[in-house]
Structure 1
Amino acid sequence: MLFVVLLLVLAALGLLVPALTTSDTIWAWSSVGASVLAAVVLIWDWWRRRPGDPAAAAQSVDQLAVADDQRVVVPAEADMPPADEEPPEEDTDAADLLAVADLVDEVRVLDERPRYHLSSCSWLAGRPTLGLPAQEARQLQFTPCAVCRPDATLVSRHRAARQEVSDDHA
């Protein structure tokens, strides 16, 4: 969303140059229009993500469970792959896979590694990671880590938040 706003602001600046160099007011009004459109997009994005909005709560379930995600998942020694080996892939249920495809909760990925993880995954232990929405990680062909089980965790959080929202409205 910020990318769209950035493009609109750059367009407004680009339209401002001919407005200042010529006497044609259409350029100035076009610049003002692009700026107003950028403001409308920002307000719409804020409105979509405002606190207390059921749609925003369902969309960003990860924020509702930040405290839960802060605890570090410590698997049994037998489950822990060596540091130079990739952890196994989580066996994801088909229904969960469809739900993960729509989630925007952040997962962590490592450069040149095929798995995505929760931020609390013990396998990450001090490695530099990048944050991506879960749906984007799936689109980029990353697969879930079996150590921290991000698909099962994110889907259960998403379902719990949806249930909580529907209970609040009932």
Structure 2
Amino acid sequence: MLYFVLILVLAALGLVVTSLITADSLWAWVSVGFSVLAGLVLLVEWLRRRSAKPASSTTDADTDADDSDEDDDEESEPETEAEREDQTALLPASGELKTVAGEPAEEQTDAADLLVISSLETEVLVVDEFPRYHVSGCTWLETKDTIPLPAKEARELGFTPCALCGPDATLAAQHREKRKSRK
């Protein structure tokens, strides 16, 4: 559909150029007609897609409601450990970050440590699709593929520290020890 609109717009452009070259207003009016037709096609497509979305979302909601009636006694926890590990934190409408089972909580970082961490190039480890960064000895990382990043970059990308291994406290303490040993 968009290709058809693109062709109409290009034809309208060509007709405007033709009307300017030949100084004939008929070509300009034909160009306006092509532009209006392209606009109408876009409007019809938009209305068609808009009316299709609520219909599909109501059928999904009906299916979910049917499923929840069957599982009233069960919680919506993942059934296997592998499914738990694949889930990450969810962001509800209130904007508050909640953790899902299997994901470590966020370390509460001291403001002084945060200043140190935000400038460190020391490597931390992240796992794709999970919001936490870790130090290399973290038990949560045992079987996961990790991606090394500088701590500063991990923070800039929105990763938060793991409460199990406490990377902020660990890295800040290491940084302070290095500074003391230099003096």
TM-score, normalising length from structure 2?
A: 0.45
